[in-house]
Structure 1
Amino acid sequence: MTKVLTAVEVMELIPNRYPICYIDYVDELEPGKKIIATKNVTINEDFFQGHFPGNPVMPGVLILESLAQAGSILILKSEEFLGRTAYIGGINKAKFRQKVVPGDVVKLSFEIIKIKGSVGTANAIATVEGKKAAECEFTFIVGQQ
């Protein structure tokens, strides 16, 4: 499989760094419309030390953060927003369908529904082996340069 963006290229776009950079690579990218990115979940993640000892589960909020980071890449690859920073403005209709555990490969899909000025909405879905792990609707805000 060909990667559209590597982890290094992702870090050139978004400000997130270890331990809170959750995108390993980008599979597909349609600027201004849709992205599919990948997060490989390993037992070495810092959050597994406390969530939960003996029963490691990726926190739901970090699944949403991973989706938001994928969205940031999509937004910042759009010509009108180059060089800017994307922020979460709101999260609606969040649902968690199954646990994400060490060894899982999470596919992160973020699709822009509408943009007006520097504010937009998007649908986001995280899947593991083709099954929904989480989904939500994001409102995002793109900061000024």
Structure 2
Amino acid sequence: MNTYPLEREELCRYLPHRPPFLFVDRIVRKEESRIAGEITFRAEESFFEGHYPGHPVVPGVLLIEAAAQTAAVFTGMEGYSAGKTGYLAKVEDMQFKAPVKPGDRLECEVYLERVLGDFLFFSSTVRKGDVVVAKGKFTVVVKDDRRE
């Protein structure tokens, strides 16, 4: 049984990603079909140099990735990806509502809506405090890479 928060070292048991492409610092809670992770985007992140010089903003695609990685921890903990690898298959109706800047701590809450075979359908909300900065839906497919 896990206790929360679940720090990076422990959550990496469920997640194939590693720095510099790891966008979950910790898991703060998990319920039956919902999980929440935290990430702080540090000023020294290399992408801030070019996005945008003088006005650094986290690229929206990295907010999607943070939510998808949070979902990957969930799929690992729940056994959906045992012996398999999860791949982002589809992103739907992602909305970016406020900019995310260096030093911002975000919470990515991900909810498993349904499972259809190897496809897992999630909705996500990314918040900075009480402010929703992004939300949308995405699909993950889990594949047995040993069969390819």
The runs of 5 or more residues in structure 1 that have no matched partner are: none
DSSP 3-state at the match of 2:13: helix
Q: Check conservation: 1:19, 1:46, Cα contact below 8 A.
A: no
Counterparts of residues 65-104 of structure 1 (less than 5 Å) = 65-104=65-104
1:127 aligns to what? Answer: 127
Equivalenced residue count is 143
1:46 aligns to what? Answer: 46
Deviation at 1:86, TM superposition (A): 1.3
Deviation at 1:80, TM superposition (A): 4.2
Instruction: Please give the alpha-carbon distance, in whole angstroms, between the structure 1 residues aligned to 2:79 and 2:61.
Output: 29
Instruction: Please give the alpha-carbon distance, in whole angstroms, between the structure 2 residues aligned to 1:5 and 1:84.
Output: 22
Deviation at 1:30, TM superposition (A): 2.3
Any idea what the Cα deviations from partners look like across 1:74-121, whole Å, max 9, x if unmatched?
111113433422111100001000000012110001100000111121
1:142 aligns to what? Answer: 142
The runs of 5 or more residues in structure 2 that have no matched partner are: none
List, as ranges, runs of 4+ consecutive aligned residues in structure 1 with deviation greater than 2 Å: 79-84
Instruction: Please give the alpha-carbon distance, in whole angstroms, between the structure 2 residues aligned to 1:142 and 1:80.
Output: 8
2:31 aligns to what? Answer: 30
1:12 aligns to what? Answer: 13
Any idea what the Cα deviations from partners look like across 1:19-73, whole Å, max 9, x if unmatched?
1101000001125x11000001110111101111111100000010000000000
Query: Could you state the TM-score of these two structures normalised by the residue count of structure 2?
Result: 0.91
Q: Check conservation: 2:83, 2:144, Cα contact below 8 A.
A: no
Q: Check conservation: 1:4, 1:29, Cα contact below 8 A.
A: no
Query: Could you state the TM-score of these two structures normalised by the residue count of structure 1?
Result: 0.92
DSSP 3-state at the match of 2:28: strand
Instruction: Please give the alpha-carbon distance, in whole angstroms, between the structure 1 residues aligned to 2:21 and 2:54.
Output: 22
One-letter code aligned to 2:100? V
